[in-house]
């Protein structure tokens, strides 16, 4: 009799294991193309199974106990990880369990564009639905301190790139990654810089790179733009670059740069002040950083827009004025670059 009961128990166990095995390899047929689940830190197996049921990944109570049993049978119950997960209609319970036990969290992307200033970076971070907004109520100076900087703003020190982020992570975490990346790239580029550059510190190169970034989007022009500004600095000429004036105007800039704006002094007005401005004016990409540290070698001192995104470079004022007359007669002032420099 005892042997009969033992056989029955073994058969029941085998049927249960077969049932769980078949269920664990059957697609869940989720109703949406993507079903997202946030698993909180510290959640145990029971809490995770309940969260999966609440999100519709596990459909009924029987699924919950099957999931728990599967986790114990595969020795994964103690290895489940918190995070943001995405599941798909063809995923099986075994796929779900493996994702959570291996920590295969879902990553989303936040893109920071070359040439953006820090205000634009903050707008993008604040608008991201994937990030927790830890910096929303911070001032720029408070954010700079959180990033280990001494200045009033992280302007220029955020590396433009496309960043993978785990939903629920903070915007401050992203900024820390981006600022560390800028430090790494700038330090490495500084070590291989050309000789004879008028920079005293890597930040000078970063400031120059930010100006180059705003002046042109044409890759092969960046070293030539750098050439002009390096030559001007070496000769003691003012840079006279419109993007710095616009940056110094801040919210007062309405899209139309006027002559009076060029004459109104700010720390960033390179028409009224000599040398580099006190801070970067935007996020430069690697191409602009390399251009700042490896400028073209020539005697150009001026450049003027052709009106199509490219520029004409000149080594003296007479040539420059001819180029201005040719290309700038019918272009509004805010589009004209360096009309009568020096």
Predicted TM-score (pTM) above 0.75: yes
What are the tokens at 113?
């564009």
What's the confidence (pLDDT) of residue 10? 67
Mean pLDDT value across residues 101-108: 94
**pLDDT per residue over 192-201, tens digit each?**
999 999 999 9
3-state SS of the chain is: CHHHHHHHHHHHHHHHHHHHHHHHCCCCCCCCCCEEEEECCCCCHHHHHHHHHHCCCCCCHHHHHHHHHHHHHCCCHHHCCCEEEEECCCCCHHHHHHHHHHCCCCCEEEECCCCCCHHHHHHHHHHCCCCECCCCCCCHHHHHHHCCCCCCCCCCCCCCCEEEECCCCEHHHHHHHHHHHHHHHHHHHHHCCCCCCCCCCHHHHHHHHHHHHHHCCCHHHHHHHHHHHHHHHHHCCCCCCHHHHHHHHHHHCCCCCCHHHHHCCCCCCCCCCCCCCCCCCCCCCHHHHHHHHCCCCCCCCEEEECCCCCEEEECCHHHHHHHHHHHCCCCCHHHCCCCCCC
In contact, 240 and 338? CB cutoff 8 Å: yes
In contact, 206 and 157? CB cutoff 8 Å: yes
Q: Greatest CA separation found in the chain?
A: 113
Say if residue 9's pLDDT is above 50: yes
In contact, 81 and 104? CB cutoff 8 Å: no
Residues of the chain with CATH 3.30.1490.480: 2-102
Q: Among 106, 124, 180, which residue's Cα sits nearest to residue 147?
A: 180
Share of residues in the chain with pLDDT > 90 (%): 80
In contact, 141 and 153? CB cutoff 8 Å: yes
Mean pLDDT value across residues 136-145: 97
Residue 5 pLDDT grade (very low, low, confident, very high; cuts 50, 70, 90): low
Residue 4 pLDDT grade (very low, low, confident, very high; cuts 50, 70, 90): low
CA distance 314 to 300: 5
The fold of 2-102 is Dna Ligase; domain 1 (3.30.1490)
CA distance 163 to 181: 11
Pairing of strands 311-314, 108-111: unpaired
Q: Among 153, 172, 170, 197, which residue's Cα sits nearest to residue 289?
A: 197
Say if residue 337's pLDDT is above 50: no
**pLDDT per residue over 143-185, tens digit each?**
999 999 988 999 999 999 999 999 989 999 999 999 999 999 9
What are the tokens at 6?
């033992």
**pLDDT per residue over 309-335, tens digit each?**
899 999 999 988 888 888 876 555 444
CA distance 334 to 279: 23
Residue 342 pLDDT grade (very low, low, confident, very high; cuts 50, 70, 90): very low
**pLDDT per residue over 11-63, tens digit each?**
666 776 878 889 999 999 998 899 999 998 899 999 999 999 999 999 889 99
Residue 341 pLDDT grade (very low, low, confident, very high; cuts 50, 70, 90): very low
Mean pLDDT value across residues 288-298: 97
Give CA torsion, residues 321, 323, 326, 327, to 10 deg.
-120
> What's the gap between Cα 113 and its chain centre?
7
**pLDDT per residue over 63-102, tens digit each?**
999 999 999 999 999 999 999 999 999 999 999 999 999 9
- Residues in CB range of 106: below 8 A, 6 or more apart: 36, 83, 84, 85, 86, 166, 167
């Amino acid at each position: 009799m005892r042997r009969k009961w033992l056989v029955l128990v073994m058969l029941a166990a085998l049927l249960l294991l077969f049932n769980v095995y078949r269920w664990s390899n059957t697609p869940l047929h989720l109703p949406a193309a993507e079903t997202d689940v946030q698993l909180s830190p510290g959640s145990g197996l029971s809490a995770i199974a309940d969260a999966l049921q609440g999100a519709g990944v596990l459909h009924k109570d029987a699924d919950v106990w099957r999931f728990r049993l599967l986790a114990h049978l595969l020795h994964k119950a103690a290895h489940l990880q918190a995070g943001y997960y995405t599941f798909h209609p063809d995923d099986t319970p075994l796929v779900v369990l493996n994702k959570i036990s291996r920590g295969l969290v879902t990553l989303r992307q936040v893109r920071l564009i070359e040439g953006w200033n820090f205000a634009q970076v903050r707008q993008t971070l604040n608008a991201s639905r994937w990030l927790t907004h830890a910096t929303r109520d911070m001032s720029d100076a408070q954010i700079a301190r959180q990033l280990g900087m001494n200045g009033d703003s992280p302007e220029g020190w955020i590396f433009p790139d496309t960043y993978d982020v785990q939903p629920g992570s903070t915007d401050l975490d992203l900024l820390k990654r981006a600022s560390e990346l800028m430090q790494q790239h700038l330090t490495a580029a500084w070590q291989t810089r050309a000789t004879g550059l008028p920079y005293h510190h890597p930040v000078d190169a970063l400031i120059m790179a930010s100006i180059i970034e705003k002046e042109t989007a044409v890759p092969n022009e960046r070293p030539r733009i750098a050439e002009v500004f390096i030559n001007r600095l070496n000769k003691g000429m003012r840079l006279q670059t419109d993007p710095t004036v616009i940056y110094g105007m801040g919210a007062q800039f309405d899209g139309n740069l006027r002559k009076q704006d060029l004459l109104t002094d700010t720390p960033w007005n390179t028409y009224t002040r000599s040398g580099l401005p006190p801070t970067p004016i935007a996020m430069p990409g690697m191409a602009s950083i390399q251009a700042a540290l490896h400028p073209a070698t020539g005697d150009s001192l001026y450049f003027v827009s052709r009106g199509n995104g490219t520029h004409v470079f000149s080594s003296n004022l007479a040539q420059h004025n001819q180029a201005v007359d040719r290309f700038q007669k019918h272009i509004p002032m805010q589009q004209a670059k360096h009309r009568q420099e020096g």
